[in-house]
């Protein structure tokens, strides 16, 4: 008699087949879905480890979280209690979420660091050396290498209990612009206020940007560092006054970028390792200016001391009016513009902002012994370089970056052909429109037919266009 003669028997057989198929599909489910497969394998490995431990340590406790029983068809089955199963599922879910969000950074702080290392084609072709520039203006908080410094100073202060977010605490700093901009952006992001003291001869767009970032901006007359009204000393005083005030329980924190070790340590921990990785450690010279001195000191310490690149030359790029050039070359802090009756201003006699100083900071001192040489760059040379980079490479940067690039060219020509020189592009030219770039325009460098706008690819042509001595090409 066939099953078709007995509908009831036929239905029972169909259900049996369906049930068996369901079991097989369930067992194969892990192969169809990778996420479930991964979790299955992790659970399986934990089960095997547990069984080995049990075999070596005697009978499993009756209160243990795992028990084993036999199955006729599929062998041993590992059982887990409900609480551990929930914990594992939560961990697996968290891991899956992390994978899905790979590439997403946490807050504006995540946009700091890992900036590109750019080969400047025109300078490389003209010199016959490879000139590379760390594009620090692409840092995502304040658009300069000071993003690294500001973040590290804030994090160290939080660790030491000097700052607590969302309590009204205020970060005070004396700055010519870039550090203040980085602090202002990060202060808002991390639950603080910012109060910035800066000289009144800095470009107006910097203080405007600080204002739009929510910082309190106090522009003060230029004064010597020995004066209590110097912008750095005033910021320190404002922080003390805030903390001592009985009107609020919040605190004032003086960041102290010039002397805080968190400054150069930020470059030891991030900028130096990035440059080493991006060049595979093949660097013949590193060139940078110094304001606080943190960048050149931190990068030099990492490359020369930590990575043992002892043959690499570290060269200071110094603007006119700064005393660091003579300090490095001759051991004496002196600039010709400091002679009595010749000084036009009381800080540094140059239109260049951000680098150049007439005292030794703790940050510069941290790496001064590692600096091999110095190149002095005039305002005219810096202006010519800024225009050259726009015309030949489409790179629009500020005054300190231009000084760095002039010094990089001079350094490159002192090395054998094919050598690698690394420098720093600090910030965008948009912060220097009303002062530095205004001077570029006043020199006639932006007019059609100017020297730097012509097709000049040879070394001598480049030297002439940049206002550098032709004797460099004889080295």
| 3-class DSSP state of 428 | strand
CA distance 209 to 204: 9
- Per-residue burial over 409-448, b if 16 or more Cβ lie within 10 Å, else e, is bbbbbbbeeebbbbbbbbbbbebbbebbbebbeeeebeee
Which residue, chain included where needed, has tokens 């767009």? 205
Q: Can 146 be counted among the known catalytic residues?
A: yes
Instruction: Find how far residue 259's CA is from the centre of its chain.
Output: 19
Pairing of strands 130-135, 117-119: antiparallel
**Cβ–Cβ < 8 Å for 234, 228:** yes
List C-alpha distances in Å: 329 to 323, 334, 364, 373: 10, 11, 15, 6
Choose, from 134, 146, 304, 327, the residue flagged as catalytic. 146
The DSSP secondary structure of 366-407, one letter per residue, reads: TTGGG--EEEEE-HHHHHHHHHHHHHHH---B-HHHHHHHHH
- For residue 407, which of 84, 195, 131 has the smallest C-alpha distance? 131
| Per-residue burial over 304-332, b = 16 or more CB atoms within 10 Å of its CB, e = otherwise | beebebeebbbbbbbbbbbbbbbbbeeee
Q: Are 391 and 415 in contact (CB under 8 A)?
A: no
The answer to whether the beta carbons of residues 339 and 326 sit under 8 Å apart is no
Does residue 198 contact residue 219 with C-beta atoms inside 8 Å?
yes
**CA separation for the pair 55, 51 (Å, rounded):** 6
Answer for the pair 315, 375: CB distance below 8 angstroms, yes or no: yes
Give the active site residues: 146
């Amino acid at each position: 008699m066939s099953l078709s003669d007995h509908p009831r028997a036929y239905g029972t057989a169909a259900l049996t087949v369906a049930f068996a198929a369901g079991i097989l599909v369930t067992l194969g489910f892990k192969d169809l879905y990778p996420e479930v497969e991964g979790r299955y394998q992790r659970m399986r490995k934990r089960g095997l480890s547990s069984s080995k431990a049990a075999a070596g340590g005697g009978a499993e406790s009756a209160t243990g979280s795992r028990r084993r029983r036999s199955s006729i068809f599929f062998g041993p089955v590992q059982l887990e209690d409900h609480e551990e199963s929930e914990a594992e599922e939560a961990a697996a879910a968290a891991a899956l979420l992390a994978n899905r969000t790979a590439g997403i950074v946490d807050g504006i702080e995540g946009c700091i660091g890992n900036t590109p290392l750019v080969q400047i084609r025109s300078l490389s072709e003209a010199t016959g050396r490879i000139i590379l520039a760390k594009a620090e203006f692409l840092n995502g908080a304040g658009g300069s290498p000071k993003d690294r410094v500001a973040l590290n100073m804030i994090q160290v202060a939080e660790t030491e209990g000097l700052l607590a977010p969302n309590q009204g605490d205020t970060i005070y700093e004396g700055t010519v612009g870039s550090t203040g901009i980085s602090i202002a952006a990060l202060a808002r992001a991390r639950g603080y206020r910012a109060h910035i003291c800066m000289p009144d001869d800095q470009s107006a767009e910097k203080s405007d940007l600080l204002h739009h970032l929510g910082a309190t901006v106090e522009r003060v007359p230029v004064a010597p560092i020995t004066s209590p009204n110097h912008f750095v000393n005033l910021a320190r005083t404002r922080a003390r006054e805030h903390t001592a005030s009985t009107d609020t329980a919040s605190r004032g924190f003086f960041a102290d970028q010039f002397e805080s070790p968190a400054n150069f340590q930020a470059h030891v921990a991030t900028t130096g390792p990035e440059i080493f990785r991006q060049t595979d450690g093949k660097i013949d010279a590193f060139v940078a200016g110094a304001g606080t001195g943190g960048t050149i000191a931190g990068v030099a310490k990492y490359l020369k001391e930590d990575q043992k690149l002892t043959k690499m030359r570290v060269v200071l790029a110094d603007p006119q009016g700064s005393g660091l050039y003579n300090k490095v070359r001759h051991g004496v802090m002196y600039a010709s513009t400091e002679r009595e009756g010749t000084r036009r201003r009381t800080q540094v006699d140059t239109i260049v902002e951000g680098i150049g100083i007439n005292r030794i900071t703790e940050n510069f001192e941290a790496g001064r012994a590692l600096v091999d040489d110095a190149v002095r760059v005039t305002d005219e040379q810096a202006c010519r370089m800024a225009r050259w980079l726009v015309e030949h490479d489409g790179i629009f940067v500020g005054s300190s970056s231009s000084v760095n690039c002039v010094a990089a060219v001079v350094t490159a020509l002192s090395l054998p052909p094919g050598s690698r020189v690394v420098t720093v592009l600090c910030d965008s030219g948009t912060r220097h429109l009303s002062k530095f770039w205004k001077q570029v325009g006043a020199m006639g460098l932006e007019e059609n037919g100017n020297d730097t706008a012509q097709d000049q690819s040879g070394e001598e042509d480049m030297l002439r266009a940049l206002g550098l001595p032709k004797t460099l090409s004889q080295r």
